[in-house]
């Protein structure tokens, strides 16, 4: 099984102090930083991992590579040529993630798994923070883990101490969490607990 990776969502950070917030999360044990990028079209909001919730994701690959992104995660629903986009991302020097919305069938990504580094299964509808975790997305995670045991599988949306067990037991090893980390009195403890749960529950 892939190792646990805890990725605080910067969407829940203090946007007036992004650099300080990023350093705070890394200091408290974050493995990755999750940056949600919205265009006001694919989803209705605009914000600043880079999880691209945008139409025409092909358009932004080079810009994000130049900005220093290490992974470019696009939505399968936003492109008609995912394999060409994957190659473009790789040529730009970034890792590749493919995201799916809650209502998108999991088999839409099967043919791409050998070409990507991560699959993101959204556990809320993309576009807004603070939504309730959707338990009915867990069968997709379970199926994906059974078919592709070495794949990094990320879950994003409503992850907190009361929902983390369901996600991990289904097979997720990359945990995106916003409010539950950034608003915690002790972010380090929350991140450590998430990691421990991934490492413990995946062995059970």
Number of neighbours of residue 160 by Cβ within 10 angstroms: 15
Cβ neighbour number for residue 120 with a 10 Å cutoff: 28
pLDDT tens profile 111-150? 999 999 999 999 999 877 778 999 999 999 999 999 999 9
Binding site residues for a divalent metal cation, as ranges?
A: 34, 36, 51, 156
Q: What is the CATH number of the domain that holds 86?
A: 3.20.20.70
User: Which residues of the chain fall below pLDDT 70?
Assistant: 44-48, 204
Count of structural domains within the chain: 1
**Which residues participate in the annotated binding site for substrate?**
9, 51, 127-130, 158, 178-179
pLDDT of the residue at 204: 66
CB 7 within 8 A of CB 32: yes
d(CA 65, CA 57): 13
Active site residues: 36, 156
DSSP H/E element including 187: helix 187-201
Q: Which residue range(s) make up the domain with 147?
A: 5-201
- Which residues are known binding-site members? 9, 34, 36, 51, 127-130, 156, 158, 178-179
């Amino acid at each position: 099984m892939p190792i646990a990776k805890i990725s605080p969502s910067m969407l829940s950070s203090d946007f007036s102090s992004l650099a300080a917030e990023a350093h705070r999360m890394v200091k408290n044990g974050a493995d990755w930083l999750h940056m949600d990028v919205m265009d006001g079209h694919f989803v209705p909001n605009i914000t600043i991992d880079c999880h691209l919730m945008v139409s025409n994701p092909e358009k932004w690959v080079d810009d994000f590579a130049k900005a220093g992104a290490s992974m470019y995660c696009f939505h399968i629903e936003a492109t008609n040529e995912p394999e060409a986009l994957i190659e473009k991302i790789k040529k730009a020097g970034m890792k590749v993630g493919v995201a799916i919305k809650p209502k998108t069938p999991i088999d839409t990504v099967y043919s791409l798994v050998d070409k990507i580094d991560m699959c993101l299964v959204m556990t809320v509808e993309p576009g807004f923070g603070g939504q309730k975790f959707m338990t009915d997305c867990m069968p997709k995670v379970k199926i994906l883990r059974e078919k592709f045991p070495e794949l990094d599988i990320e879950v994003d949306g409503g992850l907190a101490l009361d929902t983390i067990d369901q996600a991990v037991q289904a097979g997720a090893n990359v945990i995106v969490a916003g409010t539950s980390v950034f608003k915690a009195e002790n972010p380090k403890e929350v991140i450590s607990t998430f990691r421990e749960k991934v490492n413990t529950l995946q062995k059970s």
